[in-house]
Amino acid sequence: MKELTKAEEQIMHRLWQMDNATVRQIIDQLPEPAPAYNTVSTIVRILERKGFVDHIAEGKGHVYFTIISKQEYTRKFMKRFISNYFENSFKNLVSFFAKNDKMDLNEFDDLVAEVRKELENNKNKRQ
């Protein structure tokens, strides 16, 4: 899966929120100053070529919808991110934030508890 540019990501976030939309509806959800119609239309067509969105014809226009979920993109993006910057180690990622953002012990305990809960849920699903 290809990585999104900043502009593509902005459009995808709007589409993930709206489920489906026309170019005009996407523009209406963007912060001011909103980009030109042709700019958003071009970005949406690029997203379609990349396999992130598809469309259905509606009247003279198109309604676009995502075919890659936000969760799926996030999972693949983070996997690549951790691989590229943290030697494919979740431990290195957590350690980085603990050192650089001064993560406190309560936050760390909450994180450990949440990870344990997810690992247990995944283990139970496989059984």
Q: Indicate the number of domains in the chain.
A: 2
Q: What is the pLDDT of residue 125?
A: 82
65, with CB counted inside 10 A (0-12, 13-18, 19+), is middle
- In the chain, which stretches have pLDDT less than 70? none
* Domain shared by 10 and 61, yes or no: yes
DSSP labels, 4-58: PPHHHHHHHHHHHHHSEE-HHHHHHHSPSSPPPHHHHHHHHHHHHHHTSEEEEEE
Is residue 108 in a domain? yes
Is residue 25 in a domain? yes
Is residue 121 in a domain? yes
Q: What are phi and psi of 74, to 5 degrees?
A: -60, -45
* Domain shared by 20 and 58, yes or no: yes
Q: What is the pLDDT of residue 1?
A: 73
**CATH code at position 35:** 1.10.10.10
Q: What is the pLDDT of residue 49?
A: 96
* Domain shared by 62 and 95, yes or no: no
Is residue 78 in a domain? no
Q: What are phi and psi of 5, to 5 degrees?
A: -75, 170
Is residue 111 in a domain? yes
Query: Structure tokens of 46?
Result: 């690029």
Is residue 44 in a domain? yes
pTM recorded for the entire structure: 0.77
Residue appearing with tokens 């589409």? 15
Q: What are phi and psi of 20, to 5 degrees?
A: -155, 155
* Domain shared by 56 and 93, yes or no: no
Q: Which domain holds residue 49?
A: 6-66
* Domain shared by 52 and 100, yes or no: no
